[in-house]
């Protein structure tokens, strides 16, 4: 087969998550991220570094993906 026929036969890419779900996912991920961040900020100062990191990493991931879905919900596709 030539490249042209491969191009014409190919199916268009479909996102694994529907665009309708972007606002809801953004809200939920940001809400969970802020809750996790608040639990990180109320940890006593003399706790172990492992406990602080185990609280900070999920907060960072939730806020990062929440921001990503918020951008996509308003039409900024990254």
CA distance 62 to 68: 10
Whole-number pLDDT of residue 12 = 82
Residue 34, SS3 per DSSP: helix
Strand, helix or coil at 15?
Answer: coil
For residue 45, the model assigns a pLDDT of 75
pTM of the shown model: 0.78
* Cα(36)–Cα(60) distance, integer angstroms: 9
Mean per-residue pLDDT, 48-63 = 90
Q: SS3 helix, strand, coil % of the chain, rounded to 5? A: 70, 0, 30
């Amino acid at each position: 087969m030539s490249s042209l026929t491969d191009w014409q036969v190919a199916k268009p890419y479909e996102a694994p998550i529907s665009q309708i779900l972007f606002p809801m996912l953004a809200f939920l991920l940001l809400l969970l991220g802020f809750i996790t961040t608040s639990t990180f900020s109320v940890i006593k100062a003399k706790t172990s570094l492992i406990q602080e990191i185990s609280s900070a990493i999920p907060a960072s991931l939730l806020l990062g993906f929440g921001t990503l879905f918020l951008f996509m919900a308003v039409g900024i596709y990254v």
